[in-house]
Structures are given as structure tokens and as C-alpha cells.
Amino acid sequence: MATINKSSRFTKSDNPRDKFITFYLTQDELNEIKGQVANLSGISISKYCRSLLLGKKIVSNVDAKYIHEMSSLGANLNRLGGLQKELFNNSHLGKLYASDTANNLKDISIAIAEITQFVRAMKSSTRDNVK
């Protein structure tokens, strides 16, 4: 496995990709590969072919970005729910709005569950995208 040095703006690898393979395709074959890559937006044809030939998982960069973003949103929502609960438990004003607090916590819990379900579905569909 290559080690990567990220001490500067550009990354250095002790095992750079400096070799190439040339092979020929028909127009139909090229169109089919381009169609498969188009369904995995954010990935190059080169990366797709390399991953496919080496038997590695093929994961869209965009899907990974969405999964990370949704996970962050879920964490923020979870934090807000904790703050709402803290306000209710430790503030006399929080107890005045007990029904509003309960409704807020219920809505936050539902949103967290929906985000969790969405992230799990995205992760499994990304795994299923292996061609």
C-alpha cells in the first residue's frame, strides 16, 4: 500500500500512478462504460476501470459526500435535542413550556430517525452499486 505525504499543497506518493495500459473498444462498449460511469457521478472513467479490474468497491464520490453531510446533520440535530432537553430539565422557564418542549423533542427524534434511515439506505445503495 502506498504511503502519501501531505506536507505540501500537492500530495506525494511513494507509489505514483505513472504506468498506463492502452486497449481498444467499440463505440458501443465505450458508450456502455460511459453510461455506467455517469450513474456514479464524481468518478472518472480511469478510476472506475481500475476499481473494476482490481475487484475493489466502486463508490461514487457524490454519494460519499451526501452520506457525510447527512451524518453531520443528524449529529447537529441530536445535539440540539440534547440542548432542548437540558433547557427543560434545568430551567424554570423550560417547565412553563413543557408541552412545546415535548413536541420539539418528538419532532427532533423523528428527524434523527429519518436521517439515520436515509444514510443507511444511501450506504447500502452505494455498496450495491458495485458493478
Determine the 3-state secondary structure of 12 from DSSP: strand
Cα–Cα distances (Å) from 104 to 26, 95, 115, 118, in that order, read 59, 13, 16, 21
Return d(Cα 85, Cα 102) in angstroms, integer: 9
The CA distance from 35 to 59, in Å, is 15
Rounded Cα distance between 6 and 25, Å, is 37
Q: Euclidean distance between the first and final Cα of the chain, in Å?
A: 24
Residue with grid cell 457525510, as numbered in its chain: 68
Q: What is the pLDDT along the chain (131 residues), one digit of tens a residue?
A: 555 555 556 677 788 888 888 989 999 999 999 888 887 767 888 888 988 899 988 776 666 677 777 788 888 888 887 877 787 777 777 677 777 777 877 888 888 888 888 877 776 765 555 44
